[in-house]
């Protein structure tokens, strides 16, 4: 080829000319792999953020359920007290009504 008067550079140019499609493919494959690694790292960070967000959401939902259950327990206690009072009043009315 053109390696006559150029020595080392001529040989290098001959190799480049001969193998340029493979060299271009190697550069493109390396670039693609670097981009792919970047996407993988980004997706890993997004997954970590989603896990953190999910944990926070689950904790908030648990706290809300506990608060709701606490309110329902207090309401249940109040209703039991009111129903007991109503039963007592009805019992008193029926016993008065039967004695008169």
* Integer-rounded Cα radius of gyration of the chain: 41
Q: What is the pLDDT of residues 2-11, one digit of tens each?
A: 445 567 778 8
Nearest-angstrom CA–CA distance, 59 and 54 = 9
- Residue found by looking up tokens 């053109």 in the block: 2
Nearest-angstrom CA–CA distance, 16 and 27 = 13
Q: What is the pLDDT of residues 47-95, one digit of tens each?
A: 999 999 999 999 999 999 999 999 999 999 999 999 999 999 999 988 8
Entry field: residues in the chain:
100
Measured CA distances, 49 to 3, 36, 44, 53, 67 (Å): 58, 20, 9, 6, 27
């Amino acid at each position: 080829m053109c390696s006559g008067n150029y020595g080392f550079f001529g040989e290098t140019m001959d190799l480049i000319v001969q193998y340029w499609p493979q060299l271009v493919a190697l550069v493109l494959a390396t670039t693609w792999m670097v981009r792919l690694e970047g996407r993988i790292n980004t997706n890993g960070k997004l997954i970590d953020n989603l896990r953190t967000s999910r944990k926070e959401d689950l904790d908030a939902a648990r706290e809300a359920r506990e608060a709701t259950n606490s309110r329902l327990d207090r309401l249940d206690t109040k209703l039991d007290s009111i129903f007991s009072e109503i039963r007592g009043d009805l019992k008193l009315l029926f016993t008065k009504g039967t004695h008169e």
